[in-house]
Amino acid sequence: MAIRKLRFNGDEVLRKRAKEITVFDDKLKELAQDMIETMHKENGVGLAGQQIGLLKRIFVVDLYDGNEPFAVINPVIVKEKGEQVPDEGCLSVPNQFAKIKRPKEVVLEYQDLEGNHKKMKAKDLLAEVFCHETDHLNGILYIDKIIPGTEEYAAGFEKPDNTK
């Protein structure tokens, strides 16, 4: 197991569409473990393949709510319902947060690490994470969708003021 190196906004791998996973072997399980470790080290709630430089349709999730972290392979959001406007951030766009419109509830179809087809209903934060990570696999970053003027920056990381 190993911590993988993160890729950041500006890296072209983040803008490419990841490819379907067709082989469900021990290497895939090892990759998922590495991604979970990397996500934990960075205190993230999700991490997608592109964020460690891999064009594979896999992401991992941990909401730190007492449930085990898990891996999602070949995800497709098949239903969306309602709306929420969370403050969102991304490990690949550090120290920045902004409001974004997300569905309140989604249904996600995916495969687990054994290749079994699954369907999961999610709402609130989990729905947000499913949308954010599925976007990553399609080369989309949350900063593409933020509500203008809602950007916030961590202390010391304010956007440069170009008006002066």
Residue 94 DSSP class: E
Instruction: Strands of the chain (E only): list them.
Output: 46-48, 58-61, 70-81, 87-90, 93-99, 105-111, 117-123, 152-153
Task: Please identify the residue of the shown chain whose CB is closest to the bound Zn ion.
Answer: 90
Does residue 90 touch Zn ion according to CB under 5 A? yes
Closest residue by Cα to residue 136 from 62, 53, 23:
53
Stretch that binds Zn ion, among 18-26, 86-94, 108-116, 120-128 (CB under 5 A): 86-94
Give the shortest CB-164-to-Zn ion separation in angstroms.
31
Rg for the chain (alpha carbons), in Å?
Answer: 16
128 catalytic? Reply is no
Number of chain residues interacting with Zn ion (CB under 5 A)? 1
Closer to Zn ion by CB, 3 or 93: give it. 93
| Positions 102 through 121 that interact with Zn ion (CB under 5 A) | none
* Stated length of the chain: 164
Give the shortest CB-158-to-Zn ion separation in angstroms.
21
Does residue 100 touch Zn ion according to CB under 5 A? no
Closer to Zn ion by CB, 24 or 37: give it. 37
> Distance (Å, rounded) from C-alpha 62 to C-alpha 60?
7
| Catalytic member of 80, 133, 151, 152 | 133
Catalytic residues: 133
Residues of this chain that interact with Zn ion (CB under 5 A) are: 90
